[in-house]
Structure 1
Amino acid sequence: MNGKPHYLEIVTHDVDSLCTFYTRTAELQFNGPDGDLGGARVAELPGGSLLGVWAPLRNDEGPLWRIYLRVDDLDTAVGAARDAGAEIAVERMSLGGGHGDIAIVLHGGVEHGFWQTG
């Protein structure tokens, strides 16, 4: 695992307004909705990490920030998280478009994501 932040995700009920906010305040340039990433609008951050903004995908998902750490082996990372007391919120899920696979765990009342690139 290399642990570098790969993707910062913001879930909001007003995607376009938040993208406009970051475009105006941080000069980020967002693409259109990406169907392979659940309709997220994505911008590249300085250093190469990505920021994705999207609407909630689950009924129980409210506005939040979630970081995905890049890992070399997703199954190993999820197993280590489970061994450390995390609950698995989203099992390994393949993303389309060659983006790779993700998983989300809950620990300490916070959602944490792991991302194995394709």
Structure 2
Amino acid sequence: MQIQYLEVVTKDVDAVCAAYEAANGLKFGAPDAGLGHARTALLAGGGRVGVRAPLRTTEEPVVRPYWLVKDIEAAVAAVVQAGGFIAMEPTPIPGHGTFAIYLQGGNDHGLWQL
């Protein structure tokens, strides 16, 4: 398993980015509109971490890993078979890939296909 994208939703984007930069030597870029205006940094192994503010008033802070998969449709079917609830169907993000979000075990999870 490999994390392709680690999404951090927080009410204090700048503070979280500064802490990650100081503790982990990351370098965050400017907000990326395609990723909900997340500021992103490269992770070892080729993935990214993205830190963004909530997109709506009802969105709570969350840390959501998106696991890299070869076939997102097959992965979504496997998640449903295992009892997961699909919160966001596979959705393409131009220039980034296709993602899906599911809920299981009281946690948010993501899938990502390049």
Q: TM-score range by the shorter chain?
A: over 0.9
Cα distance, 1:60 vs. partner?
3.0
Query: How does 1:61-80 map onto structure 2 within 5 Å?
Result: 61-80=59-78
- More strand by proportion, 1 or 2? 2
- In the other structure, the counterpart of 1:8 is 6
Number of residue-to-residue matches in the alignment: 114
Cα root mean square deviation, aligned? 1.1
Identity among equivalent positions (%) equals: 47
**1:44-83 equivalent positions in 2, closer than 5 A:** 44-83=42-81
Q: List per-residue Cα deviations over 1:24-73 (Å, max 9, x = no partner).
A: 22111001000111101100122222111011124332111100000111
Q: Give the equivalent residue in structure 1 for 2:104.
A: 107
Distance 2:101 2:74 in 1: 13
Unaligned 5+ runs, structure 1: none
> Residue type matched to 2:85 in 1?
E
Aligned to 2:32: 34
Does 84-93 or 45-54 show the bigger shift? 45-54
